[in-house]
Structure 1
Amino acid sequence: MDIKLRSLKNQDKTYFFSWLRDQDVIRYSLSIFQNMKTHEDISLWFDNILLDNSTYNKAIFDNSTGNLIGYAGICNLSKTNLSGEYFIFIGDKDYHNKGIGTYVTKEIIKYGFENLNLNRIMLTVSNENIGAVKAYTKANFKQEGVMRQASYRDGKFHDKIIMGILKDEWKNN
């Protein structure tokens, strides 16, 4: 696979229509995804992403097939604290559990430290999302804490793990 990151484009929106309606794909994703049911909901959300200058967003693109497979980036950027929150969403299930999450995570945090001049990048992840926890650990994120029963999916509560990486830790790896 030839995975590349590029800017999100308006025509990428069409991929999200099917992804955000697939319960397997959105199970551990943003809570907002759980409530988006119509084309209009998804379209409005996507249009706002394209207009949001306070978030670093990148499309995850398979250069060998020409398909968009997801998006990732850093939101909640703080110029005061030199920090942000990492996110990734791989919508195409054919690309799950193939190491793409680890690769993309490393590329995004590299950009965050080198180009956005961040000192700290954090994330939260459901403890049930074993693949994501592994990917973040491989990208050198460290567990910092647990928010007990912070996520409600599939009729039960799940803990959310808080993970972070500091620029000094990243430089030394």
Structure 2
Amino acid sequence: MVKLAPLHLEQVTPFYTWLQDPEVIEYSLSTFQQLKTPQQIDQWFAATLAQANSLNLGIYLTETNALIGYAGLSGISTTNHAGEYFIFVGEKAQWGKGVGTAVTKQILQLAFTTHHLNRVMLTVSERNTGGLRAYAKAGFVVEGRLREAACRRGVFHDKIVMSVLKADWQLPGVAGC
């Protein structure tokens, strides 16, 4: 269905279209609400790829190798063995096809095996029911609620805090710091 691979600066072009679609960015990074020009998007994309404590991977369709979004981990802490999961599927034609669940499971495998994390967390808009379902299917559990933490279309709504621990993920092997 999908594969993950590194993103490169020359792959910014699809983001120009995706970030101009209010429906695509509604539940995404607040930063996306402010990016309006190709130059702003270029600067954001370059800065994102340059972050040292992050894992930024493109989401590609296995059949066509088309870039449909990106996902990864930000704020990776080697001290705390933790990071924050993110996903952005820009191609609306791929929504509702299980891409979110498949990508989330792949990123968790990388987090717990390659990056040796113990905890991966995320925040998701309470209105993003598809995201909530995908994260729960991948093993995330609700930890709490950030009241009125997001404002979209002039309306405040809560964000849900979710996490998955290495032990919850049922990874056999070593536990502890």
- Give the alignment's TM-score, normalised by structure 1: 0.97
Deviations 1:54-88 (A, max 9, x none): 10111000121231000000001111111000000
Partner in structure 2 of residue 148 of structure 1: 147
For the residue of structure 1 that corresponds to 2:88, the secondary structure is strand
Q: Alignment partner of 1:44: what SS?
A: helix
Which 10-residue stretch deviates more, 49-58 or 15-24?
Answer: 49-58
SS at match of 1:46: helix
The structure 1 segments of at least 4 consecutive aligned residues displaced by more than 6 Å after TM superposition are none
Aligned residue for 2:43, secondary structure, equals: helix
Which residue matches 2:80? Answer: 81
Residue 40 of structure 1 is matched in structure 2 by 39
TM-score (norm 2): 0.94
> What secondary structure sits across from 2:169 in the alignment?
helix
The amino acid across from 1:49 in the alignment is T
Is there any run of 5+ residues in structure 2 with no aligned partner, and where? 173-177
**Counterparts of 1:133 and 1:99 in 2: how far apart (Å)?**
13
How many aligned residue pairs are there? 172
Aligned to 1:138: 137
Return the offset for 1:53. 2.1
Which residue of 2 is the match for residue 113 of structure 1? 112
Give, in whole Å, the separation in 1 of the partners of 2:129 and 2:139. Answer: 16
Which residue pairs with 1:98 in the alignment? 97
Identity score, percent: 47
SS at match of 2:45: helix
Give the counterpart letter for 1:92 in structure 2.
E
The structure where helix makes up a greater share of residues is 1
Give the letter for the 1:124 counterpart. Answer: T
Structure 1 counterpart of 2:94, one-letter code: Y
1:172 is displaced (CA, Å) by 5.9
Distance 1:168 1:13 in 2: 36
1:57 alignment counterpart = 56
